Structure 1
Amino acid sequence: MHTDTERCVRAVQSKDARFDGWFFTAVLTTRIYCRPSCPAVPPKVQNMTFYPSAAACQQAGFRACKRCRPDTSPGSPEWNARADTVARAMRLIGDGVVDREGVPGLATRLGYSTRQIERQLNAELGAGPLALARAQRAQTARVLIETTALPMAEVAFAAGFASIRSFNDTVREVFALTPGELRTRASRRTGDDRVSRTPGVISLRLPFRAPLNPENLFGHLAATAVPGVEEWRDGAYRRTLRLPHGQGIVSLSPRPDHIACRLSLTDSRDLRIAISRCRWLLDLDADPIAVDDQLRTDPLLAPLVDKAPGRRVPRTVDAAEFAVRAVLGQQVSTAAARTHAARLVTAHGEPIEDPEGGLTHLFPTPAALAGLDPEALALPRSRRTTLTTLVGALADGSLRLGLDSDWDEARARLFALPGFGPWTVEVIAMRALGDPDAFLPGDLGMRRAAADLGLPATPAALTAHAAAWRPWRAYAVQYLWATDDHPINHLPA
């Protein structure tokens, strides 16, 4: 979008927050860059230039605006709506792969050479993987500086910097303030719930593009919560997190203009990764205006969108975990699926301490489940085979599910496993892989909703009709599911 100068100028002049994260405005006279909705007086048109990423702005020598804080804007919806190489690379960079494995590790995961990855990212984003990772390290450092009392040396290494010097230089270059000045400015702010009052806990706000309807999003997560791993407590969805360097517990609460996030981590190096996974879980980088506008073109679907716009697709923080849970949920009630999952957690999960609630375990890894006794599962024999085959494939690496998955390839590999039909494959594609066009025409709730609305009720006919909803059919599923008075569609009392 950043190449459409006229459209970008209109967005900046109208301070349109819908475009935050889509592009960044760099001001040639002041050498700062802003989000489109920056409250400052818009610069003259001849002094504006536009970039597709914060990293590209920084690489071109611009510093972040102190007023609109462009580094905290929602991420581009492009990266979660596509499955091409650049989108998959951006999801992996957000998950810290470059910091942990370097650019060669990123390239290996994507099946390309480092040169090819660098060329593709530079062509579309104006910055290579190292610059993109550096921009994210700077944002992580800012969060730690402003929301914790950690010594600056600990902040530097927790944010992923290799040295104190590179940390200091990057913060000064990106924010035009020293780390100490950033902390001093933050301490002067009052009434800011991003400042944690609990030792070891980081509190921050997760931004999103309005509108956001929390009913089905948090309702689904709460209603399907696995005891010991997830819970709804005091108006917040809480769950345990398995992270690259340690463990964590997150609490997520819907607010009118943000999601309140409280993170307790055993290793602060996992902060950025935990934030990225929480944003993915809640689909916070979606563009609800584009989604809803497309779905409104169907006169039968439009009333549902108008009644409660901004529905998101509830996802997962761990694709392998969700795949296991999807198998446990085949042809049983929500309550039964939770019971089956809780038994696995108790028997094979890793214990964790939760001083603030009732969380007890991390969900077991495929490796931990690989040796389970099928006879110990209170499941039909065919489903035991499905589960053990899935776990074996995940454990030995023959099936990889994650941010780097090619959606079509992952579907094909899942279909090749025994017991995997269209419903299971598509629900995994929707919630674990993040395909915004995943569709479940054979789902019972979908068929009931379609019949009530006058839509075709048979899977084939509904699929043909839903072609007009593409590429947002997963969101249409959320609107159709929401017509049922089921706990997944309501915030818990």
Structure 2
Amino acid sequence: MHADFDRCVRAVQSKDARFDGWFFTAVRTTGIYCRPSCPVVPPKPRNMTFYPSAAAAQQAGFRACKRCRPDASPGSPQWNERADLVARAMRLIADGAVDREGVPGLAARLGYSTRQIERQLLAELGAGPLALARAQRAQTARLLIETSALPMADIAFAAGFSSIRAFNETVREVFALSPTELRARSGNGRLPAAPGSLSLRLPYRRPLCPDNLFGLLAATAVPGVEEWRDGAYHRTLRLPYGHGTVSLAPGPGHIDCRLSLSDQRDLSGAISRCRRLLDLDADPEAVDAQLCTDAHLAPLVRRAPGRRVPRTVDGGEFAIRAVLGQQVSTAAARTLAARLVTAHGEPLTAPEGGLTHLFPTAEALADLDPAALAMPAARRKTVRGLVTALASGELRLGIDSDWSAARAELVQLPGIGPWTAELIAMRALGDPDAFLPTDLGVRRAAARLGLPGTPAALTRQAAAWRPWRAYAVQYLWAADGHAAARMPGS
């Protein structure tokens, strides 16, 4: 996108927020970089330079605009739409992999050399992994400076900086303000968060239809791990340095997010997981435009545009829950999962509302006696096989997973067929083109809309919906009238 100069200029001149996060505008005469929707008077085209990432703009010597705060724009939708090396690397960097493991650790996770990773990121994003991680550290530092009362030294290390000096220099370079000045500038009367928590606003590209997004999360919430309370979805989080809890609720133009973390170093990773859970970096206009080319889907899209795909904060957790839910009702699946949580989950030292446990890891379930599961013997065998594969590392369902390889590994496990594999691909792996033609709700909605009734014929029809078939599934589920496609309480 950033290489199409004329298109970028038009987006900037029209202040088009749809392109926020797709590219960044650097202004040579002022030395600042902005998001396309910056409210200031657009500069003359001859003074504009476009970069594919905030890190590239910072590396070229530009500082972030104080009006539009480009570092806080939604992420590029490319990193959740694609499964290639660069996209997988960007998902890992957003999760804090470089800060925890360094560039060699990032490369090892992806199965490439550090040189290959650096070369590909530089070619596409104009910055290497260290510069991209530095830009993220700056954004995390700004969030902590503006939304917490933590001492600056604590913020520096929580954001991933190796020293106070590096923290001070980076904040000054990126924001043209010292950390103390940045905190003073942010004193805008916003109510402070409760002690030990951080209150944030997660941006997204409009439109966003929250109905199925929060409806499904609330309907399938596992007691002890998740709950819908006071108009918000709450859940526990298992994170690299510790644990946390989060509440998420739709707000005007943003998602209200309140995080409580046992270790502040997990902030950037927690935000990344919440954004992924709610599919906040999607490009809804591109998705809906493609789906509207089908006359059967167009009325559904126009009625409630901007549906997202509810995802997960932990791929292994979702896979286990998907198997527990095979061929049983939503209520029965929640009951089975809740029993696992009570017996094998890690209790929180300070429970919050109905949140009492972290969902058990595959390692914690590795010695599970299948006979303890109140389900048919065949499904107990499936759970056992899945847990063993996850615990051994033979099956990986992380943000860095190869979608095709993971599908192939899933269907090799006893009791996991195409429906379960596609559901896991959709919600755990984040594949936007995952499709469930055999799903009962999808087939009922398809028949009601006049779409083909058999899975094979429906799959042929759905070829025109690619690469957004997972979003088509959301519209079809909503058309089936399931309570999970509605906002809780509506």
| TM-score between the two structures when normalised by the length of structure 1 | 0.99
Instruction: Judge conservation of contact 1:92–1:404 (CA < 8 Å) in 2.
Output: yes
Match of 2:337 among 338, 341, 356: 341
Instruction: Judge conservation of contact 1:205–1:259 (CA < 8 Å) in 2.
Output: yes
Matched AA of 1:274: A
Instruction: Judge conservation of contact 1:325–1:337 (CA < 8 Å) in 2.
Output: yes
Aligned equivalent of 1:53: 53
| SS of corresponding position for 2:364 | helix
Aligned equivalent of 2:388: 392
| SS of corresponding position for 2:234 | strand
Separation in structure 1 between the aligned mates of residue 15 and residue 325 of structure 2, nearest angstrom? 45
Aligned equivalent of 1:473: 469
Aligned equivalent of 1:131: 131
Separation in structure 2 between the aligned mates of residue 35 and residue 48 of structure 1, nearest angstrom? 12
| SS of corresponding position for 2:198 | strand
**1:296 matches 2:284:** no
Aligned equivalent of 1:464: 460
Aligned equivalent of 2:421: 425
Q: Which one is further off, 25-34 or 478-487?
A: 478-487
Match of 2:269 among 273, 278, 281: 273
Aligned equivalent of 1:359: 355
**1:165 matches 2:161:** no
Shift of 1:354: 4.8
Aligned equivalent of 2:436: 440
Separation in structure 2 between the aligned mates of residue 170 and residue 224 of structure 1, nearest angstrom? 43
What CA deviation, in whole Å up to 9, does each residue of 1:313-342 have, x standing for no partner?
Answer: 000000000000000010111101000000
Matched AA of 1:440: L
Separation in structure 1 between the aligned mates of residue 78 and residue 280 of structure 2, nearest angstrom? 12
| SS of corresponding position for 2:227 | strand
Aligned equivalent of 2:36: 36
Matched AA of 2:139: Q
Separation in structure 1 between the aligned mates of residue 81 and residue 192 of structure 2, nearest angstrom? 33
| SS of corresponding position for 1:365 | coil
Shift of 1:356: 4.2
**1:249 matches 2:245:** yes
**1:26 matches 2:22:** no
Shift of 1:129: 0.2
**1:323 matches 2:311:** no
**1:405 matches 2:401:** yes
| SS of corresponding position for 2:355 | coil
Matched AA of 2:258: R
Matched AA of 1:364: P
Q: After superposition, where does 1:219-238 map in structure 2 within 5 Å?
A: 219-238=215-234
Aligned length: 489
Instruction: Judge conservation of contact 2:344–2:365 (CA < 8 Å) in 1.
Output: yes
**Percent identical:** 78
| SS of corresponding position for 2:282 | coil
Separation in structure 2 between the aligned mates of residue 421 and residue 485 of structure 1, nearest angstrom? 26
**1:101 matches 2:79:** no
Shift of 1:484: 2.2
| SS of corresponding position for 1:260 | strand
Shift of 1:198: 1.1
| SS of corresponding position for 1:252 | strand
Separation in structure 1 between the aligned mates of residue 477 and residue 238 of structure 2, nearest angstrom? 30
Aligned equivalent of 1:211: 207
Separation in structure 2 between the aligned mates of residue 70 and residue 353 of structure 1, nearest angstrom? 38
Instruction: Judge conservation of contact 1:294–1:469 (CA < 8 Å) in 2.
Output: yes
Instruction: Judge conservation of contact 1:212–1:312 (CA < 8 Å) in 2.
Output: yes
Unaligned runs of 5+ in 1: none
Q: How much is the aligned-residue C-alpha RMSD, in angstroms?
A: 0.7
Shift of 1:487: 1.9
Aligned equivalent of 2:112: 112
What CA deviation, in whole Å up to 9, does each residue of 1:143-188 have, x standing for no partner?
Answer: 000000100000000000000000000000000000000000112x
Matched AA of 1:146: E
Aligned equivalent of 2:174: 174
Q: Which one is further off, 77-86 or 355-364?
A: 355-364
Shift of 1:485: 2.3
Shift of 1:252: 0.2
Separation in structure 2 between the aligned mates of residue 241 and residue 354 of structure 1, nearest angstrom? 13
Matched AA of 2:100: R
Separation in structure 2 between the aligned mates of residue 205 and residue 350 of structure 1, nearest angstrom? 29
Separation in structure 1 between the aligned mates of residue 66 and residue 350 of structure 2, nearest angstrom? 37
Instruction: Judge conservation of contact 1:353–1:359 (CA < 8 Å) in 2.
Output: no
Aligned equivalent of 2:73: 73
Matched AA of 1:482: A
Separation in structure 1 between the aligned mates of residue 338 and residue 361 of structure 2, nearest angstrom? 14
Shift of 1:256: 2.1
Aligned equivalent of 1:486: 482
| SS of corresponding position for 1:116 | helix
